[in-house]
């Protein structure tokens, strides 16, 4: 709400569908109003009324229609990979329905039927079948198949993998950036997020944050030595990129916090729970979802817990506020449709740690 004519402080009455909804005490000329009780797929009319010099002033009527709920009805397909040892997938990225990459450790037999001790590090969906892949890169004079933990893709020919160090490629050819030689010897990275391949962030162990912008690599000081487990961000209405990073470790005592990155500066967002933070997703500055030792939502600068499971929840991703998925231990997968949460899977023989959502397609990866 913006005003140019009222003295401060002043009292304003907000009317919703011709009924008084709330009275607000204004102290500034620009105020954000937050209403959390509106129903899905409904139209509302709002006006605001105030008094100045014994004269009633009323704003123009504002019309708003809320988002509809999305469907809880899904058809799931299960694919398994690996022929020996214990295979696992850590992360997944959907480019489109005919192009999906997942990364991890996949143990296959060689051409003689014997166990190959060198794990394949990726699987790729081409629209008709999954194929296991070895993403090989040159590293300090040797051709290696590095373990991969993260994947983030902008297009079919613009893909980033993370295997302690960043790897960029076009789907066929790959280049590893040896940041431990060129930037900092202690960097150890596992996940990525960015707005383009000219502005992308990488996070990981020991509080590691690296930023690649317009051909230049930089280390960003995070203020923590704990594990940064995930990264996700948005581009604001002012065309400013903000990335959020959950910090905590199950194995090592240390920080439990949520970092925010703008440019090359790091700040933290107040975290009021003594719970682990494993993943973050956000569609806007006003709403943030965290999962780890539970599921948490931040609206209007206030956190609340969403109590739908007691298992560890390892990843959260979504399309928008009415289409959000979470996945975790014991095969836990749940969906929020804008009004209700529904548990989609609960397989005690599985554990999920990677999740990608794009329009009507969702991919969940882990270990079984």
CATH at residue 210: 2.130.10.10
The whole domain housing 272 covers 88-367
> From residue 124, how far is each of 86, 133, 183, 322 by CA, in Å?
19, 7, 31, 29
Phi, psi dihedrals of residue 211, rounded to the nearest 5°? -125, 130
Provide the 8-state DSSP code for 233. E
Identify the CA nearest to 191 among candidates 129, 261, 106, 254.
261
- The H or E element that residue 180 is part of is helix 179-182
Is the same domain home to 56 and 116? no
Asked, for residue 82, whether it belongs to a domain, the answer is: no
Which pLDDT band, with edges at 50, 70 and 90, does 270 fall under?
very high
Is the same domain home to 45 and 193? no
> From residue 161, how far is each of 36, 129, 274, 306, 367 by CA, in Å?
39, 21, 32, 32, 19
> What is the model's pLDDT at position 31?
76
Is the same domain home to 362 and 330? yes
Phi, psi dihedrals of residue 277, rounded to the nearest 5°? -120, 115
How many C-alpha atoms does 2 have within 13 Å on its Cβ side?
0
DSSP helix/strand/coil, 84: coil
113: left (phi > 0), else alpha (psi -120 to 50), else beta?
Answer: left
pLDDT at 36 over 80: no
Is the same domain home to 197 and 308? yes
Asked, for residue 334, whether it belongs to a domain, the answer is: yes
Asked, for residue 4, whether it belongs to a domain, the answer is: no
| Spatial separation of the C-alpha atoms in residues 250 and 292, rounded to whole Å | 10
Identify the CA nearest to 103 among candidates 118, 116, 120.
120
- Quickly count: other Cβ atoms within 10 Å of residue 70's Cβ: 19
Asked, for residue 75, whether it belongs to a domain, the answer is: no
Is the same domain home to 51 and 195? no
| Spatial separation of the C-alpha atoms in residues 276 and 312, rounded to whole Å | 9
CA 131 to chain CA centroid, Å, is 26
Is the same domain home to 249 and 333? yes
- Are the C-beta atoms of residues 205 and 225 closer than 8 Å to each other? no
Indicate the number of domains in the chain.
2
Specify burial of residue 6 (Cβ count, 10 A radius: 0-12, 13-18, 19+).
Answer: middle
Asked, for residue 78, whether it belongs to a domain, the answer is: no
Mean pLDDT of the 28-44 span: 78
Q: What is the dihedral of CA 29, 34, 35, 36, to 10 degrees?
A: 180
How many residues belong to the chain?
A: 368
Is the same domain home to 133 and 185? yes
pLDDT at 4 over 80: no
Is the same domain home to 314 and 201? yes
Is the same domain home to 61 and 119? no
> What is the model's pLDDT at position 32?
73
pLDDT in tens, 325-335: 999 999 999 99
Asked, for residue 77, whether it belongs to a domain, the answer is: no
Asked, for residue 148, whether it belongs to a domain, the answer is: yes
Is the same domain home to 181 and 243? yes
Buried b (16+ CB within 10 A) or exposed e, 224-263: bebbbbbbbbbeeeeeebbbbbbbbbeeeeebbbbbbbee
Asked, for residue 141, whether it belongs to a domain, the answer is: yes
Is the same domain home to 351 and 303? yes
pLDDT at 78 over 90: yes
Provide the 8-state DSSP code for 60. P
pLDDT in tens, 166-218: 999 999 999 999 999 999 999 999 999 999 999 999 999 999 999 999 999 99
Is the same domain home to 110 and 227? yes
- Cα angle: 278, vertex 283, 284; to 5 degrees: 110
Phi, psi dihedrals of residue 253, rounded to the nearest 5°? -60, 145
Whole-model pTM?
0.89
pLDDT in tens, 347-359: 888 899 999 999 9
pLDDT at 34 over 80: no
| Spatial separation of the C-alpha atoms in residues 368 and 358, rounded to whole Å | 24
Does the CA dihedral 308-277-160-268 come out positive or negative? positive
């Amino acid at each position: 709400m913006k005003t140019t004519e009222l003295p401060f402080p002043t009292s304003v009455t907000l009317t919703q569908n011709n009924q008084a909804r709330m009275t607000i005490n204004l102290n500034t000329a620009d105020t954000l109003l937050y209403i959390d009780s509106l129903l899905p797929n409904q139209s509302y009319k709002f006006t605001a009324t105030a008094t100045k010099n014994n004269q009633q002033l009323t704003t123009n009527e504002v019309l708003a229609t809320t988002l509809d709920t999305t469907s809880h009805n899904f058809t799931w397909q299960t694919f398994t990979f690996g022929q020996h040892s214990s295979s696992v997938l850590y992360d997944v990225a959907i480019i489109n329905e005919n192009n999906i990459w997942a990364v991890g450790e996949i143990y296959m037999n060689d051409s003689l039927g014997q166990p190959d001790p060198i794990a394949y590090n990726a699987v790729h969906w081409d629209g008709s079948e999954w194929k296991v892949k070895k993403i090989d890169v040159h590293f300090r004079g040797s051709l290696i198949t590095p373990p991969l933990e993260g994947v983030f893709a902008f297009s079919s020919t613009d893909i980033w993998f993370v295997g302690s160090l960043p790897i960029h490629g076009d789907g066929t050819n790959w280049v590893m950036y040896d940041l431990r030689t060129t930037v900092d010897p202690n960097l150890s990275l596992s996940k990525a997020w960015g707005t383009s391949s000219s502005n992308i962030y990488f996070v990981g162990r020991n509080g590691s944050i690296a930023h690649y912008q317009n051909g230049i690599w930089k280390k960003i000081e995070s203020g923590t030595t704990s594990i940064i487990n995930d990264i996700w961000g948005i581009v604001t209405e002012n065309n400013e990129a903000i990335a959020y990073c959950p910090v905590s470790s199950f194995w090592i005592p240390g920080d439990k916090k949520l970092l925010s990155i703008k440019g090359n500066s790091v700040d933290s967002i107040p975290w009021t729970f003594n719970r682990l933070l494993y993943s973050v997703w956000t569609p806007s500055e006003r709403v943030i979802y965290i999962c780890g030792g539970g599921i948490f939502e931040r609206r209007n600068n206030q956190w609340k817990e969403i109590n739908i499971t007691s298992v560890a929840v390892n990843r959260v991703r979504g399309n928008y506020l009415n289409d959000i998925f979470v996945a975790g231990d014991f095969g836990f997968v749940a969906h929020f449709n804008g009004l209700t949460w529904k548990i989609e899977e609960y397989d005690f023989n599985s554990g999920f740690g990677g999740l990608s959502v794009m329009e009507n397609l969702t991919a969940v990866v882990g270990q079984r």
